[in-house]
Structure 1
Amino acid sequence: MNAPPSRPGPRPAVRIGALVPLTRPGWVEAGRHLLAGLELAAGEVNDAGGIDGRPLELVVRDTAADPGNATAAVDDLVRLGVVAVAGEYHSVVARAAAARADALGVPFLCSSAVLDALTEQPTEWVARLAPAQSHGWRIYADFLLGAGHRRIAVATEPSVYWASGTGILRDYVTARGGTVTELDARALTPAALCDELADNHATAVLLLVGFPEPAVPIVKSVRRDQRLAEILIGAPAGQPEFADWAESLGDDGAAVPFLRYLPERLSTLGARVGTALRERLAEAPSFVAFEGYDTVVVLADVLRKHGTDRARIAESWSRVAVEGTRGQIRFSRPPGISVRQWAWPPVQVVDRDPAEPGRFRVRHAG
């Protein structure tokens, strides 16, 4: 008697490693939005048949904003056979992940970190969706100068990311007749920082510091200092985008301009994804959620067209042309940028409306 033919088993999943800050001191809310976008897009890929009939699986690792965690996670993900690594929000952490991915020969598509020097040397293994810091922060400086701010102070903490941002602002603003004064937020109490702002006659102070400490006490102190009633508080890194900011500061958190990477009007795809993200998050999605979604859209397109070999994926960055939620995504290598870069996503300067802090106002677009 002949045995019935055996049915082929399920085909193994195509695995993508996802780096996300999900615990403190990482920005947990940003991580939650990033993961929501990644997971939504992966689910849609699988609903549409996966990658050549194989399911797409996200293997998530929490970086907790720690570069060492990111390096170890990339090692672990490579051992698990991922075809690519994606994600991350914090620039210093993404830099560690990019360096390890480059060393191990695994593609890394960075979702949301902006540090220009994401790798020390040019590499074909790494591509990035978020705009480089020098691009976005110069647009932010244009907004400040256009609003008449020439005496700008930055309250900053030690960090490669904050130091890079300070340098970009100083070079751009001083070349146009303004000044940028650096104030050490770790050495100065909020009250002493206010004294420095008043003594320097600053018309704007930018928060290049962590959240909630020391950003929240600095904002509260500045808001309550009558000498600084007319000063602009800014946060180019995007802290006011998230609900934690509004919950921590209430009305004090309004009218704090920040950088957001969204178009003035979403496309049909972007609007549909925005609705789905809102349902998943139970709140309005941030630009970081859209970055997560677009990350998987790009990788799925590459995998369908070029297969799952790591080297072929990395070689294909320059041939990407896919419609994302915020426009068509293509990668190039702009001057001074060491990775394949989407040049450029839409950039806005946005704040929370003082009359309705739950609503955002677009103050400038670049």
Structure 2
Amino acid sequence: MSSTLFDPLSFGSIDVANRIAMAPLTRNRADADRIPTELMVRYYRQRADAGLLITEASQISPEGQGYKDTPGIYSESQVAAWRVVTDAVHAEGGRIVMQLWHVGRISHQSLLPDGMAPVSSTSRRAQARTFTANGFEDVSVPRALRTDEMPRIVADYRAAAAHAIRAGFDGVEIHSANNYLLEQFLRSSINDRSDAYGGSIENRARLVVEVATAVAAEIGAGRTGIRLSPVTPVNGGGQDTDAQALYLHLVEQLAQLQLAFIHVIEGQTGGPRDVAPFDYEALRRCYKTAFPGGAWIVNNGYTRQMALDAVASGRADMVAFGKPFIANPDLVRRLRENAPLNSVDANTLYGGGAEGYTDYPTLQTEPA
């Protein structure tokens, strides 16, 4: 008998009540010290019916920040504030993992310590913009990381994962998508290095594999997941010369680590699913053949029917929804009952207060 979108699932060290995940969603509502606020506690508690909540991306170090008012997971005060969030979600019976983030070159010097240049695999500036105290600005010119700095980057991910577990999270998701730091190493269109982290597919995948290995060693592979976006063009990311070969190699390496889950963005993040050719099913088969126990989570533009079909057919173990969760805190119930969905207010996505954040109506609060 095939599984349904509303069945429970166990993967790694994580048990979830249904196959619906909330995708990570940057909302820019942390305080000036990058600390989660009480409003964020309410936001995540409202959505705890999701089988798995994946937090907004949270920087692993001050160097990893790329946008104004995004939270971190590198200070004791951040750990303490996130603990309030996880306690609230767990009190509602939910499961929550933290997305670990280093933006690399998608940043602005005004956001970084002492006005430092962003770091990346390259010294070429991205054709991208970011959100600063002055609104949206072009990103700054980056500095290419030296080979001898790579252990420090890996150590920052490892420490952040340990902080996340101390903050009560059920696990972490390594952000290796959307052309942030780790994907800046993966893609041949960005990575122009000639050292052990550039050139061949094996070299370009090296940092991602080192990070995943270190995180899994620190907190356990069963609490570790990763997010990938093989063809998304966001944040100035040109296509790789052979994305299929690159990601098949990477997934083969990750399968050996027996991570809890792999979370794949199909197509352009928040945009067309067919932005570039890619065989996602071949990628899934590669992973599940090597490690049947890992969960395969899919994302991007899924409707209710698409999600039902994906799980029933075995093409996905879970489906992650992004914007629908912003406007529908009770999305799981709405999907179960095939109820209408609220629309997202685009004007309140980034920054601000409760409006467009914690004030969307549920089926219980809507007028009859």
Q: TM-score range by the shorter chain?
A: under 0.3
TM-score by length of 2: 0.28
TM norm structure 1: 0.28
The structure with more radius of gyration: 1
Which structure dedicates a bigger proportion of its chain to strand?
Answer: 1
